[in-house]
Structure 1
Amino acid sequence: MTRRPTRLRHLAAVIALTAVAGGTTGMTADAQPASATTPAAVPQLDWQACQNAPGYQCATANVPLDHDQQEGRQIEIAVIKRPATDPAHRIGSLFFNPGGPGTPGVATLPAFYPQLPTQARARFDIVSFDPRGTGQSTSLQCFDTQQDEANLLAQAPAGFPVGFREEQTWINVYTDFNQACARNGGPTLSHMSSANVARDMNLLRQAVGDPKLTYYGPSYGSYLGATYANLFPSSVRAMTLDGNIDARAWNDTVAGSYLGSFLREGSDLGSSATLDLFLSECGQVDTSRCAFSAGSAKATSSKFATLLSRLRAAPVTVSGTRFTYAATVTQTVSGLYSQQGVTGLATGWNDLAALLQQLWSATSQESERSVPGKAAITSTAPLPSPLPHTESVSAGPAPVTKYAGLEQFYGVMCSDSPNPRFPQAYPSQAQTANARAPHVGARWAWTNEPCAQWPATDPDRYTGPFDRSTAPLLLVGVENDPATPYEASRSMAGQLANARLLTVSGGGHTTLFNKSDCADAHIGKYLVDSTLPPVGTVCAQNAEPF
């Protein structure tokens, strides 16, 4: 297995996890924070051919660090564009955020681009950018080098902690991590909310010459889109929000005092339901189609529980990678994101089944190691990775001092969404989550723990309202989504003033990772001419999982 950067391994493919909020509650000015007196200057974009991405153009925009002080310090935003394939019928630009939070758009757009509807690629320039604090934009960096950060995070248990000793180790590591950010984060640390990213995107919209915004946002990108729509309601042309965050739950300060963001969102419940679907579908076919099948849904579910029990007792090493109970749960959750897999972005359920079967064989061998005559079995097959491989993409050499650190995820997450502010709240949350979402709950509970002592918030984050009148918005929800559950998409369809929900049957995280030609046709038509699908439309995915 290719070893991924520590940030990505720890989050296990949060390429499309969740979202966060920004701005001032009850804000009434459409295009500016309430305290701003003059609009910011529209950035000038000098498009140049991108390095390492043929056919793409790159540029850098200058925007205010603090949108309340337009004439103050400026920061850089890295931008990328793929021109429309039918320029004679070009409508404008389609802005795309890949999710995260903290996922850079410049490096990932070439991988995501083929997944966007054909109609959208024909009629729009596809534009993405590295949100402030991330990627090649002015970025949040808490350590002198990426290796320094990796050395610290390597001391934490893989995936999440299990047991009192590991819990204390985890808390200590992330206490040190947060203290490093307090020392070294600088002014960017307090200005990374989704609202400020939305304000940047509004300037970028003007910079490309579009009178109104056309936007596609999966996962966390859905929340960024909803934030933009409510900060700048008269500047929305069309928005597709795919795999939605529940804005009310995300901003719930009362529940946020005792329950982390992902548990309020129900990500643990979504993962549990999708895992059940995976095991059921796998058990209904033979091992030629699903390697982990035990011949029935019930037997396959029991086999998975037995595998985790074995790994609790004795971790195994397969293809040079050590798999503990927690690491296996984390890998399983990320492996549920895409049923069929997406080249360059995610592996499929068959790959997850193959990994689980390898671990089953390895744990079986471990239990038989002391039996006379039994030879050790060493697996040499490569293990699947659900994480995207991206090259550095820029209009020129990227500064060598920049790195993609875990702080770029938490810089947004902890700034936007309330979480319990004392580390000892998280062991009980993990127990609660595992009780309602067996196997997978603790993984989501502990992902929020670094926010317990995060050293900053953004005073300009937006917490609502989310029902300001806009052009019609199209929301998309997959019925069994392991990260942004379908109920969150239903909730957001009710919270937004003018939204239509398109349902996709099946499983996986967003339609972007789980292709549906039916959904693509509706999304493409909506983005081109604002035609929404009929109320109650349900689309099927293109293929069965096995």
Structure 2
Amino acid sequence: MHIPRSIAGHRHYAAALAAAVICSTIFAVPDLSPAGGGPSPSVPAPQLDWKPCVQGSPFDCATAKVPLDYLNPGLRTIELAVIRHKATGPGRRIGTLFFNPGGPGGPGTVQMPQNYESFPQQVRERFDIVSWDPRGVGNSTAVNCFGSRKEADAWNASKAAGFPVGEQQRTAYIAAYKDLARRCQQRDPELLRHVSTADTARDLDQLRQAVGDPQLTYLGISYGTFLGATYANLYPGKVRAMVFDSNVDPQAWTHASDPPLTTFLRMGADRGAAAVLDKFLALCGSTTTARCAFSAGSPKATRDKFDQLMRRLREHPVGAWTYGRTVGDAVNSLYVVHPGWTGLAGRLQNLWQGRVPEPSALPPAPPVPNPNPYLGDEQAAAVFCSDSPNPRDPAAYHAMEEASATRAGDAGRFWSWAAEGCADWPATAANIYRGPWNKPTAHPVLVVGTTYDPATPYSGAQAMAKELANARLLTNNGYGHTELINPSSCVKAYESRYLIDGTLPPAGATCQQDTPPFAAPKPQGGVATGGGAMADVASLVVPPPAATVIADRQ
């Protein structure tokens, strides 16, 4: 549901992530997986003709051709945009580490270069790092339901930012997503039926074969953990090492609840975001305005100040900053602690003083041919709405909003509307995997969960570790969405050792985030494993760079 890249890049990704993790449908989709879970043996591995993405770039690009439908591989083919950074340690290469940046809808060809420096140094030395735009996304054969960017921008402007407030905005919001579904059905209905997570897992195995690795080495964050779990259960014998960072509960993703709830409410994203927002306000109120501009001098006073600002924005927006947009910005900004939390505090203080916040500066474009591919809401929806059951009655979302607000406040309102785009989604996935999740894998999986995560709660990591047949849970005591973009030297050391030689952390191991919110940067993070310190672990990792984020419409 979100890698080292810049914060502005992260915030764009966070918005995408929220959007990506957002659309799910209550269709009863048959499991048409072929026996054994994998594609037909008759499907040859694609050929990857690597060339520098642009002259002088350290990244290589290639295009892979794969079947649209693995059950009928002789029919239509589609293209996957793939990117690689070669291992930097000459003569020490182990193989390829495949990376998925989440979403669904995260374009790996953009986000891997942006976040490359956040991978542990020893991992960069020993592995080629490869990512790709999943089918339906970005620079690959993509879902695009508009004739032009101008049309897409006009559609986006027709609905409220963040989430709708009031009957008029709710009506317009529902109508906008109904219109999107109609447009998508008209453009390429066949593609819409073949962009499920199971389809992408099969693509991933094709890419593994294309690079010549006998087994898969993988890092997936946010939604990428669900993709990884799907791969691990379709191809259990092909698992060499897999790291899942900030986990989606696979049962919550794939199975409806009674009474019906959206995927995000089943996952507890509303309560998770509310808990992190509360910590943001408490920690802000515990420091000075020099460190947190929104501080009112104490945790209680700062919480009260935030509540008062939200009430004021409901009646009197500041420019385009409505209550719904501000709450959405707050939740998304909690994904990356540094500098996301500081930036959020500054924007809230500007709004408190009646000033329109300044837009964040965008980072330089990464060295790839198309650093700004089209990434409309429909790309996330096409995956999410095919994989995950969500209420089909648009009228149900307001009732869910009110119920969620009683347990999660403003964050509950945001997360309740995050899946509404699935209510009218027109396509049913032709091939989907809903479990089981406990097929014994050739090697164990490392599951990393952050205790205060505003998108994929720590409970998701606990559930993932329990569901998988052979997994070890590593707890990261900290804040934000994914350790990759909220670094812990301790976690990176454990990950490096596991990816390089298969050594798991001790059972019950815990780590600390390197730099707490609103604190001066620390040179090194601490390690706690059942009360003991591991002085040798930190030597495996270089100091982490500034981080970035995942892609979903959260």
Query: TM above 0.5, one fold?
Result: yes
Q: Distance in 2 between matches of 1:264 and 1:222?
A: 17
The structural deviation recorded for 1:176 is 0.7
CA drift of 1:12 comes to 6.1
The Cα shift of 1:24 comes to: 6.6
1:337 to 331, 335, 343: 335
Percent same amino acid at aligned positions? 47
Distance 2:90 2:19 in 1: 30
Q: State which of 356, 377, 384 in structure 1 corresponds to 2:348.
A: 356
User: Structure 1 pair 252/389, CA: closer, same or farther in 2 (3 Å)?
Assistant: farther
Counterpart pick for 1:59 among 52, 56, 62:
62
Which residue of the partner structure matches residue 217 of structure 1?
220
Deviation track 1:250-290 (CA, whole Å, cap 9, x = no partner) reads: 111344x7211111111111100100111111111111111
Contact 2:67/2:76 (<8 A) preserved? yes
Partners of 1:72 and 1:324 in 2: CA distance: 48
Q: Please tell me whether the aligned partners of residues 146 and 183 of structure 2 are also in contact (alpha carbons under 8 angstroms).
A: yes
Q: Is the 8 A contact 2:65 2:77 kept in 1?
A: yes
Give the structure-2-normalised TM-score: 0.87
User: Which of the numbers 20, 25, 32 marks the counterpart of 2:38?
Assistant: 32
SS in 2 for 1:202: helix
Q: Report the AA paired with residue 361 of structure 1.
A: Q
Q: What secondary structure sits across from 2:87 in the alignment? A: coil
Verify the 8 A CA contact 2:18 2:418 in the aligned structure 1: no
Q: Which whole-Å CA distance do the structure 1 matches of 2:124 and 2:299 have between them?
A: 41
Count of aligned positions: 507
**Residue of structure 1 aligned with 2:267, choices 261, 265, 268:** 265
2:454 to 460, 482, 496: 482
SS of structure 1 residue aligned to 2:301 = helix
1:51 CA drift (Å): 2.4
Matches of 1:9 and 1:219, distance apart in 2: 12
1:31-80 C-alpha deviation (Å, 9 max, x unpaired) = 525xx4x4311100000000288100000000000000121111101100
CA contact (8 A) 1:483 1:509 kept: yes
For 2:423, what is the secondary structure of its paired residue?
helix
- Judge conservation of contact 2:336–2:485 (CA < 8 Å) in 1: yes
* Structure 2 residue aligned with 1:126: 129
1:83 aligns with 2:86: yes
The corresponding residue for 2:406 is 435
Please give the alpha-carbon distance, in whole angstroms, between the structure 1 residues aligned to 2:228 and 2:294: 39
Distance 2:174 2:13 in 1: 18
Please give the alpha-carbon distance, in whole angstroms, between the structure 1 residues aligned to 2:348 and 2:499: 40
Tell me, in whole angstroms, the C-alpha distance in 1 between the residues paired with 2:363 and 2:274: 23
State the match for 1:315 in structure 2.
Answer: 317
Q: 1:335 to 1:98 in 2, by over 3 A?
A: same
Q: Which runs of 5+ in 2 are unaligned?
A: 1-7, 519-554
Alignment of 1:376-395 (within 5 A): 382-384=358-360, 390-391=365-366, 393-394=368-369
How far did residue 443 of structure 1 move? 0.9
Matches within 5 A, 1:251-330: 251-255=254-258, 258-317=260-319, 322-330=320-328
Q: Aligned-pair distance for 1:466?
A: 0.4
Deviation at 1:314, TM superposition (A): 0.1
1:136-155 aligned at under 5 Å gives the runs 136-155=139-158
CA distance in 2, matches of 1:26, 1:12: 29
Match of 2:512 in 1: 540
Query: Does the Cα contact within 8 Å between 2:20 and 2:381 map onto a contact in 1?
Result: no
Q: 1:388: Cα distance to partner?
A: 7.2
Relative to structure 1, the CA distance from residue 18 to residue 310 in structure 2 (aligned partners, 3 Å threshold; closer, same or farther) is closer
Provide the C-alpha distance between the structure 2 equivalents of 1:180 and 1:71, rounded to a whole number of angstroms. Answer: 28
Shift of 1:29: 3.6
Q: Report what 1:365 is aligned to.
A: none
* Structure 1 counterpart of 2:540: none
CA shift at 1:20, angstroms? 8.6
Equivalent position amino acid for 2:239 in 1: V
Distance apart, 1:23 and its partner CA: 9.6
| Counterpart residue type for residue 489 of structure 1 | A
Which stretches of structure 1, 4 residues or more, deviate above 4 A after TM superposition?
7-10, 15-28, 387-392
Distance change in 2, residues 1:460/1:467 (3 Å): same
Aligned 8 A contact 2:17 2:106 in 1: no
Residue 454 in 1 paired to residue 429 in 2? no
The 3-state SS of whatever aligns with 1:535 is coil
The residue matched to 1:438 in structure 2 has which SS? Answer: helix
What is the Cα deviation at residue 311 of structure 1? 0.5
Q: Residue type matched to 1:14 in 2?
A: A
Whose relative contact order is higher, 1 or 2, with alpha carbons under 8 Å and at least 6 apart?
2
Partner SS state of residue 139, structure 2? coil
* Aligned equivalents of 2:108, 2:270: Cα separation in 1: 27
TM-score norm. by structure 1 comes to 0.88
Q: Give the unaligned 5+ runs of structure 1.
A: 342-347, 363-377
Closer, same or farther: CA 393–20 of 1 in aligned 2, 3 Å: farther
**SS at 1:501 equivalent:** strand
Contact 1:352–1:384 (CA<8 Å) still a contact in 2?
Answer: no
Does the CA contact (< 8 Å) of 2:246 and 2:481 recur in 1? yes
Deviation at 1:539, TM superposition (A): 0.4
Q: Distance in 2 between matches of 1:242 and 1:528?
A: 17
Q: Check whether the contact 1:59–1:80 (CA below 8 A) recurs between aligned residues.
A: yes
